[in-house]
């Protein structure tokens, strides 16, 4: 419980003035521009967009500058901003098959149509600090080859043609929206995916890692990972038809997991799915593993009591803004709460001392 505490306005104003000065840092060093952050710290920008749940690279870059690089603070700023925006509608589900892929790899099929396209990846770098980056300099343009113009098919579709993997049944159901209605349990897979895609990268990664280490094991292959741009199409009521209102970068991960079968169905591979704003590979793979772990009931698996199988545990702890809000509030004034605790512990100690040493007490 907290009560209103008055006073401190001058201290707060001065603290914020000092914050602004510290944010700027040494005046002899050039100030960062929003465009520099957007272009050169793009994976940080992507994370802020994904967890802020708002695709706008300029805003995410501004949030990173304002938060001095504190990612959760930046995500908080974006979440706060998005609540001020009127919602014009919802888009048609994005067609990830039509993605213009910068990267597309499969850990299951070497010779997949469309090939293994590495894209601008950190994979196979030696993870040695590159001191050449400490000096400014021009970089050569990346090599080019004959571009692919055909659509790059989804790998899981090849398995699906043989009936080897469970089919995702298409529908036009309107999905529930966490940002409009409070989460209720048991939830649904669409709601879980919404929570995971905006969930904290570290949390989702750790949950996914726990499944790999045996807490709700569901052995996953990365059937496909693709990164690239997709068009976003929306119905415009005043026009009576749909137009593309924009283009966004996405990372999609489809996992192929171990079999399910039943008395009526032969064994089939099962799926986990990750789809995240921006180039967000680690998050997307993590999301797919956790998605798959949470499907245990639907797929008739045993509840191992693993944290990643526990919908309530995962969904109520994945959001870093909820988490940090509750965590950080304990540093705010709790003077009255604490006063009552103080009185209580003094009373308990007095009583305990009387019990330990009644004679001495009586003598006094």
Binders of other proteins among 34-63, rule CB under 8 A?
49-50, 53-56, 58-59
Residue 78 burial class via C-beta count within 10 angstroms: exposed 0-12, middle 13-18, buried 19 and up: buried
Q: Minimal CA–CA distance to 199: which of 96, 313, 102? A: 313
Query: Using the rule CB under 8 A, which residue among 30, 129, 139, 142 binds other proteins?
Result: 142
> Binding to other proteins (CB under 8 A): which residues in 144-183?
144-149, 154, 156, 168-179
The residue (of 145 and 355) whose beta carbon lies closer to other proteins is 145
The residue (of 208 and 276) whose beta carbon lies closer to other proteins is 276
User: Who contacts 104 (Cβ-Cβ below 8 Å, separation ≥6)?
Assistant: 114, 115, 116, 117, 119, 152, 224, 225, 226, 227, 228
The residue (of 119 and 202) whose beta carbon lies closer to other proteins is 119
The residue (of 103 and 282) whose beta carbon lies closer to other proteins is 103
Residue 245 burial class via C-beta count within 10 angstroms: exposed 0-12, middle 13-18, buried 19 and up: middle
The residue (of 188 and 357) whose beta carbon lies closer to other proteins is 188
The residue (of 216 and 272) whose beta carbon lies closer to other proteins is 272
Segment near other proteins (CB under 8 A); pick from 83-91, 258-266, 343-351, 352-360: 83-91
User: Who contacts 289 (Cβ-Cβ below 8 Å, separation ≥6)?
Assistant: 207, 208, 211, 212, 218, 220, 255, 272, 308
> Angle at CA 57, nearest 5°, toward 245 and 222?
85
> Binding to other proteins (CB under 8 A): which residues in 336-355?
none
Could you tell me the smallest distance in angstroms from the CB atom of residue 58 to other proteins?
7
Token output for 196: 């995971």
Could you tell me the smallest distance in angstroms from the CB atom of residue 240 to other proteins?
8
In sequence order, what are the beta bridge partners of 229?
A: 100, 249
The residue (of 15 and 98) whose beta carbon lies closer to other proteins is 98
User: What is the β-pairing status of strands 268-277 and 100-105?
Assistant: unpaired
Binding characters for other proteins, 85-104, by CB under 8 A (x = yes):
xxxxxxxxxx-xx--xxxx-
Residues in the chain: 364
Segment near other proteins (CB under 8 A); pick from 8-16, 78-86, 302-310, 354-362: 78-86
Cα–Cα distance between 190 and 192 in angstroms, integer? 5
The residue (of 172 and 364) whose beta carbon lies closer to other proteins is 172
Query: Using the rule CB under 8 A, which residue among 36, 116, 340, 357 binds other proteins?
Result: 116
Instruction: Write the DSSP string, 203-250.
Output: HHHHHHHHHHTTTT---EEEEEEEEEEEEEEEEETTTTEEEEEEEEEE
Contact between 198 and other proteins per CB under 8 A: yes
Q: Minimal CA–CA distance to 79: which of 52, 50, 45? A: 52
In sequence order, what are the beta bridge partners of 230?
A: 248
> Binding to other proteins (CB under 8 A): which residues in 223-262?
229, 231-232, 234, 236, 238-239, 241-248, 250, 252, 254
The residue (of 245 and 304) whose beta carbon lies closer to other proteins is 245
Cα–Cα distance between 111 and 343 in angstroms, integer? 73
Query: Using the rule CB under 8 A, which residue among 25, 115, 266, 325 binds other proteins?
Result: 115
Binding characters for other proteins, 280-319, by CB under 8 A (x = yes):
----------------------------------------
Could you tell me the smallest distance in angstroms from the CB atom of residue 203 to other proteins?
17
Could you tell me the smallest distance in angstroms from the CB atom of residue 170 to other proteins?
6
* Total chain residues near other proteins (CB under 8 A): 85
């Amino acid at each position: 419980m907290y009560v209103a505490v008055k006073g401190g306005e001058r201290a707060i104003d001065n603290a914020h003035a000092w914050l602004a000065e510290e944010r700027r840092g040494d005046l002899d060093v050039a100030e960062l521009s929003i465009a520099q952050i957007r272009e050169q710290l793009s994976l940080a920008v992507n994370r802020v967009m994904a967890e802020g749940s708002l695709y706008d690279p300029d805003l995410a870059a501004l949030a990173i500058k304002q938060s001095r690089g504190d990612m959760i603070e930046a995500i908080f700023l974006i979440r706060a901003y998005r609540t001020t925006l009127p919602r014009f509608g919802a888009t048609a589900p994005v067609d990830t098959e039509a993605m213009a892929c910068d990267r597309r790899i499969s850990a299951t099929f070497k010779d997949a149509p469309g090939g293994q396209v590495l894209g601008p990846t950190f994979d196979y770098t030696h993870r040695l600090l590159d001191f050449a980056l400490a000096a400014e300099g021009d970089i050569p343009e990346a090599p080019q080859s004959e571009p692919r113009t055909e659509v790059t098919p989804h790998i899981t579709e090849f398995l699906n043609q043989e009936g080897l993997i469970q089919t995702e049944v298409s529908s036009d159901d309107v999905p529930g929206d966490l940002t409009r209605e409070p989460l209720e349990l048991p939830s649904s897979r669409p709601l879980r995916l919404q929570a995971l895609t905006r969930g904290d990268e570290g949390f989702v990664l750790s949950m996914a890692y726990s499944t790999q280490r045996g807490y709700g094991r569901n052995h996953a292959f990365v059937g496909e990972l693709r990164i690239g741009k997709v068009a976003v199409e929306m119905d415009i009521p005043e026009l009576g038809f749909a137009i593309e209102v924009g283009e966004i970068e996405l990372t999609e991960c489809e996992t192929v997991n171990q079999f399910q079968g039943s008395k009526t169905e032969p064994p089939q591979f099962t799926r986990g799915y990750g789809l995240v704003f921006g180039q967000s590979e680690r998050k997307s793979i993590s999301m797919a593993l956790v998605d798959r772990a949470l499907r245990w009931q639907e797929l008739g698996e045993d509840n191992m009591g693993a944290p990643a199988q526990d919908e309530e545990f995962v969904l109520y702890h994945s959001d870093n803004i909820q988490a940090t809000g509750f965590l950080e509030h304990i540093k705010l004034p709790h003077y009255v709460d604490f006063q009552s605790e103080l009185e209580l512990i003094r009373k308990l100690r007095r009583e305990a001392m009387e019990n330990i040493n009644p004679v001495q007490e009586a003598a006094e």
